[in-house]
Structures are given as C-alpha cells and as structure tokens.
Structure 1
Amino acid sequence: MLRAAALDKRYGRRAALREVELDVPAQRIIGLVGPNGAGKSTLLQLACGLIEPSAGTLTVLGRRPAADAAHLARVGFVAQDAPVYAGLSVAEHLRMGAKLNPGWDDGLARDRVAQAGLPLTQRAGRLSGGQRAQLALTLAAAKRPELLILDEPAAALDPLARDTFLRSLLESVAAIGASAILSSHLLADVERVCDYLIVLAGGRVQLAGDVTDLLATHFRRSGAAGDVRREPGAAGDVRREPGAAGDVGREPGDGSPPAGAGWMGGRSGRDGVEHVHGGVVRAEAAPAGAAPVELEELVLAYLGRATVEVSA
C-alpha cells in the first residue's frame, strides 16, 4: 500500500527524512508517532504528493503519489487544522465535494453529517473545533478513497470531541473499506484505533510493524517494572523511577545506559536478545523473568534509544 526506499527529504541543509524504508500492507489503520520535528508531516505530505522527495522512491497504492487525477481520487487527506471554508455552510461544502469528486457518495456524506449533528445551514466558521474536524473527515471519506491520510486531526480537540472523532474515523474506514494513516502524538489515540505502528524520530524510522507482532516480541526485563515513564520536557526520554529495583541513580535525560542493566545500544547479545532502551528488550520469546510491555513503553523505549544515538 505504501512503500519507501532510501527516501530522503531535505529543506536546504536540514534533513527532514533520512533513508526511510517502509513496506506497509493494505487494509490497516496505521499509527504514525514521534516527537515534534520527527518528520511525520513531511512523510504524509510526500504520500499525498504535496511535496517531492529529495532522493529515493515512494509509492502509494502502487503508483507515484498524485500521479494523475485518477490517483488523487484514491487518496483522502485531512490536515491538522481541519481545512474548511469558514464562509460556506455545511450543505455548500457537500455540494462542492460532489462537484469536485467523481466518486462522491452523497448518501454517506449526509449520513455522516447527521450522525455528527452538523447543521446543514451552519457556516463552517461558526462550528466548534470538533465539528470542523468532523466536516473535514466527512469530505475526505465521502470521495470513497482507498487510503485516508490524517495529519494529527484531533490534536486541538478536547477529550470528548477527540473520542467522538476517533469513533467516527473507525466507522468511516469500515464504511468505505479503506486503509488509513493517522499521525498523532497522543499514544492513547494510536493504541485505541491503530493495528500497525510506525515510530519516527530524527527523520528516521525507528520501528514499524503490526502492533500485535511488536507487542509479542518486546518485553520488560525483570526489575524494570514501572521504571519507564515520560520525563516532563524531554520528548521520548525514559528513566528509572527513583528507588526502583536496579536503579542506579541515572539523571533523567542524560542518555547514559544504566550500569549493570545489560544495555547494549540495540545490539543483540549471545542469547539473541536485542536490548532496546530503559529495560525493554526485543526477542522471539520472552526471556526468563521478563514481562510483556504496553504500547506506550514500547514507543518510549525506541524514542529513548534514538535520543541516545543522536547524542552519542
């Protein structure tokens, strides 16, 4: 569905994406996570054909992004600011969508508008943030694309509006039988709706795969229980809680490996166990004394390792 090979994107001397390799299957809801500046929006803009790569190749649905009008119709895009026209009513947005999209499903659009409680006569500029996000999702879904791309669409929404939006997203994907890529910095959102995960940091892919498979092959070493948490102000930092078993007093965010913990900077030891970061390991079977990890622990471990590698 989405394939990248040696994909780079540069803005002058700054590298936004570096040597990205991906092979994402179809019929998935993909969570794209990473700190600010990781390259998430750049990757999505490349996938939509809004910008061109500096090097490497990227194909979406088997073709170069935005290759022609027919390919554009196969992809729906919802940007973070839910772009709608403030001066147009909800009904006028639907009429415009019907004129611009040959595959427009007016029945689906009107059903979604009714379910979201959007007044047809209300101008978009008078809608709430959650309502504008619902309208943008409706416009993207009603063209019946094969792929929905959503760039942090719920970032500015309150918890209730975000919950409603995520339920609508799942319903829309099911209704049109599409794949979806959801960029978000909220791991709870990703855990709730996504079955495939891509972790980006520093413009590079740190981890990619089916969520079920990733959780089945990552574990927390004995003595690390409860010791991985987000450090305020340090995106992706992982540290041991003071007083936790095996704690050696590492200062938060200093990037140093905990002494005696077997941290090997991602290298596999003789036992076939890859030490990721912060007590999280990767192995085909659970090492002795290891426990399953939660998705948040898994993501933070890879972000923490990326931070250490950059500072090394």
Structure 2
Amino acid sequence: MPPHDALHAEGLTKRFGRRYALTDCSFAVPHGRVVGLVGPNGAGKSTLLHLACGLLEPTSGTLRVLGAPPAARLARVGFVAQDTPVYAGLSVAEHLRLGAKLNPSWDASLANRRVAQVGLDPAQKAGRLSGGQRAQLALTVAAAKRPDLLILDEPAAALDPLARQGFLRTLREFVAELGASAVLSSHLLGDIERVCDHVIVLSGGRVRMAGDVRDLVASSGGSLEDLVLGVLAS
C-alpha cells in the first residue's frame, strides 16, 4: 500500500457561476482512517466528494486522492452516491455480473459472500428490495472492486435505525477486510461517532475543523457531538 494520504487538499476551491461551494479548503487525511464528513445542508459536502471521485474539477487549488489527481485513481475508489442508486430492473446477481465486467479487480468471492451474509436473494430485482437492502447492495458493489478508498455520500440518511445500523456495521467490516480508507458524509452525528475515527467539519464551503476524533475529543473534554455543534455554532 503506498504511503500517501487518502485525501490531501490545498486551497481547494469550487465555484458554480458566482456561487462558491468550497472556498480555500486545506486538509490531509492519513490512509487507513474512516472519515466523517459533517456539515449542514449546503455546506459543500457533496461537492467535495464529487471532486474526490473525479466527477467535478476544482476551480482553483488542488485535491489529491491516494497521492494522485482524482481522475488517475478511479479504479481504486469505490463510490456510493446519495440515495444508494441501483438499477431497479436488474437483479442482485445481474448487478454483480455487471460489476465484474466493469472492474478488472472485481472480487466475486467477496461479493457473493457479502450478498449471502446480508440475506439478499440473487434473483430479486433491485427495484423490489427495501431501502436497507438497496444500500447493502450498493455498498457491496462498491467494495467488491477492492478499492483503496470508499466514498459514501449520505448513503444511510433515509434508512430506518435498524437498517442504518446494519449498513454501518457492514461498512466497518468492509474497511477492515479491504485495508481501505473511507469517507462517510452524514448529517447524523451519532452515525459519525459510531464508525469514524477522523472528522472534517464543513460549513459555508469552508473547513471549520479537521482531525482525529480521539485527539479532538480529548482536547475539548466533551463529546464529538458537542464539539461539532459548538464549531458549527461559532
């Protein structure tokens, strides 16, 4: 595994017309972390994740993913977009076959094992799955390409508490099995506190706080939730 940061930004700025979605953002996330990306709606979280996936280009500044520009790392990044999109007309098994065709490093054993472990019927059409099952399928497809970085844009926000807990547990297990890093965007601070060991707080398109959760909590003397809410309120 190369000794590069999972993500490294210097003066990262993204403008849409006259509106700045991100302004002069700088941070470094060491490899091997599970990062919580936190902030209110409109803070710039999705923009940052889309930049990291190579779906957008910076207006100015730089963002490096695993030590290189995002476009050079597409094969090593697994992305689960908001609302965990899957193809409603394809079965679970067809999603896995499509993943195998599109990804040279596809791990069919991992995919099949995880589908069985979370109780998905390979013959079931994705459009007939529950929200939690669709989220598990999307995460399995992203992880079976054996990425070095998993990026998840509020994938569990619409799930009920039980399904959300199952999704987060699977995420932790994938990160451990793959030896990967992960970035999880969420507005649910309880989820972030449950699975993340690093946090980036965005507000108004700027980084308000970034660092390892343990160090930040130790220095503040309070909970992560209290710390984040205090930063956002300041």
Cα drift, residue 58 of structure 1: 0.6
- Residue 293 of structure 1: SS of its match in structure 2? coil
Residue 3 of structure 2 is matched in structure 1 by none
> 1:54 is matched with which residue: 51, 54, 59?
59
Question: Hey, what does 1:103 align to over in structure 2?
Answer: 105
Q: CA deviation at 1:156?
A: 0.5
SS at 1:207's partner residue? strand
Q: Does 1:293 align with 2:226?
A: no
Deviations 1:52-105 (A, max 9, x none): 0111111000100022xxx21100000111111100000000011111100000
Name the structure 1 match of 2:124.
122
Which protein is richer in helix relative to its size?
A: 2
Q: Which residue of 2 aligns with 1:148?
A: 150
Distance 1:19 1:176 in 2: 32
Alignment of 1:120-269 (within 5 A): 120-218=122-220
Which amino acid in structure 2 is aligned with residue 175 of structure 1?
Answer: E
Partner AA of 2:227 in structure 1: L
Letter in 2 for 1:188: G
- Kindly indicate whether residue 10 of structure 2 is the aligned counterpart of residue 81 of structure 1: no
RMSD across aligned C-alpha pairs, in angstroms?
0.6
Please, which of 21, 29, 35 is the counterpart of residue 24 of structure 1? Answer: 29
5+ residue gaps in structure 1? Answer: 219-291, 306-312
Normalising by structure 2, what TM-score? 0.97
Task: With the length of structure 1 as denominator, give the TM-score of the two structures.
Answer: 0.73
In 2, the alpha carbon distance for the partners of 1:4 and 1:176 equals 24
Q: Between Structure 1 and Structure 2, how many residues are aligned? A: 229
Of 23, 37, 40, the match for 2:42:
37
SS of 1:35's equivalent?
Answer: coil
Deviations 1:116-172 (A, max 9, x none): 111000000000110000000000000000000000000110000001000010011
CA distance in 2 between partners of 1:121 and 1:295 (Å)? 42
Ranges of 4+ aligned residues in structure 1 off by more than 6 Å? none
Amino acid at match of 1:299: V
Larger relative CO (CA 8 A, sep 6+): 1 or 2?
Answer: 2
> Structure 1 residue 17: deviation in Å?
0.2
What is the alpha-carbon distance in structure 1 between the residues aligned to residue 69 and residue 85 of structure 2? Answer: 24
